[in-house]
Amino acid sequence: MKTMIGRLLALTLLASAPPATGWAVDVSAEPHAVGSETAPNKLSFVLNPGCASCEKLFLDLAQPPASQLVAAGELSYTIQLIYFRLGDLRVDMLARCSGRFEEALAAAFARREEWAESVDPATGELKEVDGEVSYAVILSIYAPDFLSYDEVFQCLRNAELFEELKARAKTVRETYGIRGTPTTVREGSAIAGYDKFQEIIADIAGEQ
């Protein structure tokens, strides 16, 4: 119990200052890519970890027909998360640090409502409990299944990753004029909505 309290106290220090450099592990800020680079159909999905329709889209990617198109080499795609609050960015950081991006993101989506409740809408950061920032939810999602407690701390203090992800998300939003999620980017055009995603996948599947 004392060890857990100490770890939680250590995490509270992260909330009061920008992430600090100090993690030697090189974690990519590039969009998560799935499928063959030579696939004739290439899509990009812009998602937010607090979005219910984004969760549906994400889960559909692992099911037919999308999964069959990927397996057949007909479809490849990237997943880019954008953030409406800083807590969303931390979800992305930890999913990447885990080395199991899709599994870790699925775990965050599964706890989406609980995760949203733990975020202060005024600041976009995690809420305070008894005067201290509470990392209870984020720890229960990622540790120890995806990262050790120490690795969670180290990941959240990766200043380079923090800034790269924030800048990349801003660029994506500005480039495609994204105002909501999910959004599918096909041949340079941004198409918003879960229903449109279904139509696009059905269109690609119908061409085979």
Q: Residues 128-185: pLDDT tens digits?
A: 777 766 778 888 899 889 999 889 889 988 999 999 999 999 999 999 999 899 999 9
Tens digits of per-residue pLDDT, 20-77? Answer: 334 345 788 999 999 999 999 999 999 999 999 999 999 999 999 999 999 999 999 9
pLDDT at 118: 79
Helix/strand/coil for 146: coil
Q: Please state, in angstroms and rounded to a whole number, the distance separating the CA atoms of residues 53 and 146.
A: 24
Banded model confidence at residue 208, pLDDT cuts 50, 70, 90: low
- In one letter, which amino acid is 83? Y
- In one letter, which amino acid is 174? E
Q: What is the pTM of this model?
A: 0.83
Round to the nearest angstrom and report the end-to-end CA distance of the chain: 57
- In one letter, which amino acid is 189? S
For the ranges 7-11, 119-123, 190-194, 203-207, which has the lowest average pLDDT? 7-11
pLDDT at 121: 79
Region 15-19 average pLDDT: 38
Q: Please state, in angstroms and rounded to a whole number, the distance separating the CA atoms of residues 76 and 204.
A: 11
Q: How many Cβ atoms sit within 10 Å of the Cβ of residue 64? A: 11
Q: Please state, in angstroms and rounded to a whole number, the distance separating the CA atoms of residues 104 and 100.
A: 6
Considering only residues 133 and 200, tell me which one the structure prediction assigns the higher pLDDT: 200
**Residues of the chain with pLDDT > 70: what percent?**
87
Radius of gyration of the chain (CA): 18
Q: How many Cβ atoms sit within 10 Å of the Cβ of residue 201? A: 21
* pLDDT value at 11 more than 60: no
Region 86-114 average pLDDT: 92
Q: Name the DSSP letter for residue 118.
A: T
Helix/strand/coil for 20: coil
pLDDT at 30: 94
Q: Look up residue 146 and give its two tokens.
A: 């995806």
* pLDDT value at 110 more than 50: yes
